[in-house]
Amino acid sequence: MDHPLSKPGPRRCLVLCSRKKFDKHTGDDEYFIRQVVKFASGDYSKVFHIGTRKAWRRVDILFDYDNPDHYDSDVLAFRVKSTPRYVSLTASMIAGVHRHAGYWFDEHKRYGCILPIRTELIPNPNLLDPDDLESFCKPEDVATNPLVESLNMADTADKIDTKPSDIRKEEQGEKEEPLRLTHDIGGAEENPKAPI
């Protein structure tokens, strides 16, 4: 049996499991990473957890192995059912894995999100089959629809929250009054607060 993590060199790893199995283990993504590293004969101290994305029926866990500079390296994929097993990826899937890792690193740099980033997709019963690896990182996930993914930044001072009522208002065409910012213009008598 091939043990790719026992060989030197950087790797990026994708771990896939069902949401039901993930929740059964109290949502502990590190549990699944440890299982995969043990299965692939790796050293857990070389793991850098990038992020976890929970969807309606599937969970994707992404980590770099022996890759301190986080270069786009060879990608290994594993599916965890009763035990981990290897999954082969197409070139477009590998590109999607690197794209999503880049997205999470950008979120870390831009907004100060603490890695690993944990996100949860808004539940949608029309999601693809959890075994469909092509759905890991399609462009419509985040790039074209910012409401698809809610960012959990519980470890940071800021928190982004999109309320379902706000989404419904947008869909029904309701608009809230725009926020008017004002500033002081010292000495102005007629209009002490002018809109910017």
Cis peptide, bond prior to residue 116, ω within 30 of zero:
yes
pLDDT score at 182: 42
* Greatest distance between any 2 Cα atoms in the chain: 82
192 is a domain residue: no
Question: Is residue 174, in this structure, part of any structural domain at all?
Answer: no
Residue 124: give the domain boundaries.
4-161
123 falls in which pLDDT band (50, 70, 90)?
low
- Is the CB of residue 10 less than 8 Å from the CB of residue 73? yes
Mean pLDDT across the chain: 74
What whole-number distance in Å separates Cα of residue 33 and Cα of residue 127? 25
pLDDT for residue 74: 93
- Specify the pLDDT at position 58: 92
Enumerate the H helices of the chain as residue ranges: 19-24, 29-39, 91-111, 164-171
Q: Which residue has the higher pLDDT, 115 or 141?
A: 115
Is position 179 within any domain?
no
- The percent of residues in the chain predicted with pLDDT above 90, rounded, is 49
Q: How confident is the model at residue 62 (pLDDT cuts 50, 70, 90)?
A: very high
Residue 118, in any domain of the structure: yes
How distant, in Å, are the alpha carbons of 19, 22, 62, 79, 128 from that of 26?
11, 7, 18, 18, 24
- Asked if the structure places residue 109 within a domain, the reply is yes
In sign, the C-alpha dihedral spanning 137, 143, 147, 151 is positive
pLDDT value, residue 26? 82
Whether 67 is in a domain gets the answer yes
- Determine the pLDDT at residue 6: 78
Is the distance from CB of 147 to CB of 162 less than 8 angstroms?
yes
Q: Looking at 41-50, 117-126, 130-139, which range is the least confident one?
A: 130-139
Asked whether residue 172 is assigned to any structural domain, the reply reads no
Number of domains in the chain: 1
Q: Is 48 contained in some domain? A: yes
pLDDT at site 30: 94
Per-residue pLDDT of 135-154, as tens digits, reads 554 434 444 443 344 444 33
pLDDT in tens, 140-190: 444 444 334 444 433 333 333 444 444 444 445 555 444 444 444 444 444
8 confidence band (pLDDT: 50, 70, 90) = confident
Residue 59: pLDDT band (50, 70, 90) is very high
